[in-house]
Amino acid sequence: MGKSQEWFFEEFTLPPDFSFGSVRLKGANTLPLTEGFINLDPGVATLRLSAECASPWNGMSMVVLYMFQLPKGQKELERLIEWFAKERLKKPRLPEKVPFDADMLSLKGVPQDWEHDWFAAFSRSLFHLYRSKKTAVLLRYFAEKGTMLDNPFFQGVYQDLVFSEKQWVTAFPELTLKKSVTRAVAKKAPKALLNEVSEAVQRALEALALKPTLRPASVAECIANRIDEARNPGKGKGKKAPNLDDLAIDLGALWGETLCRACGWQWMEVQDPDGAFLTNVCSPDKAFRVNPIAKVYSLLNDRGLPNNTALLFNMIEAEALPQSVAGALMPLN
C-alpha cells in the first residue's frame, strides 16, 4: 500500500469541491459521511466513502472509486476485475426487482467511445467499469440494506460526481472542523503539574536505569517492556509487586516527556466536552493529544488490551497519523 489516509467524519468534513485522481465531487461537505479512505500508488488512486442513511437504508452504504493510469496501473486493474467479477451475476436484478443496466448510477463525463462494462457481484454490490488505452475507472456501490437507485447517499454522489480524462490529482484534501461540534479545550499546564511530571520522570529513569543519551524510540521500547513485566508478575518471582498507580504515573510521565523532547509536543491541561480536566501531551498545532498516564494505567490494569505504547510513539515520531486539523485535539490511543 502506498501513501494513504483514513478519515472519520464525526468532527470533520471534506471540502465542498473535492478532487482526487480523475474525479471531482461537488457538495462533498453535505454528504452524510461517517468514514473515508484514500490511497495513492504509482498509477492507481483509490477513494472510499462510507455513510449511514436513515430507514429503510439504515446500515452502511459505500461508494468506492478505483482510478488507473495505464499502463502503470494495468496489473492492479486486472487484479481487481478478476477479484470482483469472479462471482458476477449473469442477469443481475436490484432489490427494486429491476434489471441492472448501463445507465443506473453511472459516472458522468466519461467519453462515449470508451469501453463500458457493468455488472453486479450480488444485488447490493454494483459495478461500472470504464476503460480507454490510457485510463480506467472502476466504480462500486454497496449497501447493506434498502433499495439502491433511491439511496440518498448514492444519489448525492451520482448527481455531483464527474470524471475528467485530463485530471490526475494526487494532493490529499484538507479536512475542515465542523462548527457544530463541541470539542475539547487545551491550556498551558500549571507549573505545579510540570514539577510533578518532572519528579515522576526522574523516578522512572532511575528505576529503569536509563542513560540520558538513549534514543527516544529506545526509551519508549523500555517503557513498553516494563509494562509487559508488570502485566505478567509471575515471570519475576521473588520481586515485590509494584504499586500500579505509582508505576502508571512514572512510566506515563516518562513516555509523555520523551515524546515532548523528541517531537516538540507539550504538556497541557485539557478540558473534555463533559467538563473533565485531563493531563495530556499535545502536538504543537493541537491537532492530536495523548493522555499517557491514563493509557499506561489502563494497560497495567487490563491485560487484554494490546500494549501498543512503543508502536504509538514510533507512529507519532514518523508522522504516520490519521488526518486531523489544527485545534482538533484528536485523542490517539
Give the length of the chain: 333
- Residue 253: its pLDDT value, please? 97
Q: How far apart are CA 259 and CA 223, in angstroms?
A: 12
Q: Indicate the helix (H) or strand (E) that contains 297.
A: helix 292-301
Alpha helices in 103-235 (DSSP H): 152-160, 191-208, 216-231
**Tens-level pLDDT at each residue, the chain (333 residues):** 578 888 888 878 899 999 999 999 999 999 999 999 999 999 999 999 999 999 999 999 999 999 999 999 999 999 999 999 888 999 999 999 999 999 999 999 999 999 999 999 999 999 999 999 999 999 999 999 999 999 999 999 999 999 999 999 999 998 888 776 667 789 999 999 999 999 999 999 999 999 878 999 999 999 999 999 999 876 555 566 678 999 999 999 999 999 999 999 999 999 887 778 889 999 999 999 999 999 999 999 999 999 999 999 999 999 888 888 888 888 998
- Residue 60: its pLDDT value, please? 94
- Choose among 288, 293, 282, 316: nearest CA to 187: 282
Amino acid at 18: F
Q: How far apart are CA 158 and CA 313, in angstroms?
A: 41
Q: Is 64 left (phi over 0), alpha (psi -120 to 50) or beta?
A: beta
pTM, two decimals, is 0.67
- Residue 240: its pLDDT value, please? 65
